[in-house]
Chains A and B, each alone.
Chain A
Amino acid sequence: RKEVEQDPGPFNVPEGATVAFNCTYSNSASQSFFWYRQDCRKEPKLLMSVYSSGNEDGRFTAQLNRASQYISLLIRDSKLSDSATYLCAGGGNTGKLIFGQGTTLQVKP
């Protein structure tokens, strides 16, 4: 079993839709979690940190469920520019991050 797992998708949604991604992790000792966005042939960019019960930033909401060992990302009112691959990552006290394989989102007009 992979340490961090994501549904690769692709998720094809119309503009304005709400879409949610889940990411599960197997290491219960993981302490910190992140969502990164990666555009084609580019580096990942930090989207949100998810440290405790979750947080919200504009149209984006991230949640952490420690009991079930998953984190989620909710995107409301999808824009064409949201099309990208979304990577979740979990880390422990070493600072190392383990990444999921990413979920591809395609927002259609």
Chain B
Amino acid sequence: GAVVSQHPSRVICKSGTSVKIECRSLDFQATTMFWYRQFPKKSLMLMATSNEGSKATYEQGVEKDKFLINHASLTLSTLTVTSAHPEDSSFYICSASGTERAYEQYFGPGTRLTVT
């Protein structure tokens, strides 16, 4: 149980384009999903928290107009990196938690974004 998928696993895009990343909980209803970014040899940095049907809560320093988050259902959240720049290149990972064991987060496999 507690399987989370993420798509795409890898994406290369040109500077100025937008990229959408999907995060799905496959066998449970995710009341909350989290989006993280991880640079090489660094820790996971929480970008935002999203609850189904409501606006995401962004961490300090994360631009909400640049990183658009939508959590339209209990099994799907999307992160769109708008007008991507090379400094946005990173490993983006989502996680999800459900109503049972609400404090445990299960991670998707991550999306490696490279902006050229």
Contacts and interface: CB of A to CB of B under 8 A. Distances in A.
Contact of B103 (A43, A95, A102): A95
Contacts of A101: 42-43
Interface of B: 32, 34, 42-44, 46, 49, 91, 93, 97, 101-110, 112
Nearest to A93: B103
Contacts of A61: none
Interface of A: 31-32, 34, 41-46, 49, 87, 91, 94-102
A94 B106 contact: no
Contacts, number: 48
Contacts of A46: 104-106
A62 B16 CA distance: 46
A95 B49 contact: yes
Given A95-B49, A95-B102, A99-B44, A43 B34 contact: no
Q: In this complex, which of A31, A87, A97, A102 has the most chain B Cβ atoms within 10 angstroms of its Cβ? A: A97
